[in-house]
């Protein structure tokens, strides 16, 4: 799946069935279901990609203190761009891992 195809899937009523779970979390986030995305992030705490997703989601929530904790756990710098830019960055990162 390309980034463009993933973006197009956001308009569908449900995530594609074969979508990797980290991308499913971003799909839910893009569709306003922060809780579903957060549940996925929490499902494998201690895994770098999930912790990185967790950091982003707490940034979305507006909890920069908690986001900072998760960026550190993921071994990542705090993202300096917009939330939209970070979402795209993560989507591309997770697409490369599939």
Domains of the chain, first to last: 20-76 (1.25.40)
pLDDT of residue 41: 98
pLDDT by residue (tens digit) across 12-52? 999 999 999 999 999 999 999 999 999 999 999 999 999 99
pTM for this entry: 0.95
For the record, the structure tokens of 7 come out as: 């973006």
- What element of type H or E holds 85? helix 83-96
If you search the block for the tokens 């490369």, which residue do you land on? 96
Torsion (CA) 24, 64, 47, 27 in degrees, nearest 10: 0
DSSP 9: H
CA 25 to chain centroid, in Å, comes to 6
């Amino acid at each position: 799946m390309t980034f463009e195809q993933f973006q197009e899937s956001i308009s569908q009523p449900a995530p594609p069935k074969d979508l990797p779970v980290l991308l499913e979390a971003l799909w839910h986030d893009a569709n306003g279901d922060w809780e579903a995305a957060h549940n996925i992030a929490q499902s494998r705490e201690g895994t770098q990609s999930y912790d990185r997703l967790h950091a982003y989601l707490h940034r979305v929530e507006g909890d920069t203190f908690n986001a900072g904790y998760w960026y550190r756990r993921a071994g990542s710098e705090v993202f300096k761009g917009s939330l939209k830019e970070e979402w795209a960055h993560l989507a591309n990162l997770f697409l490369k891992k599939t």
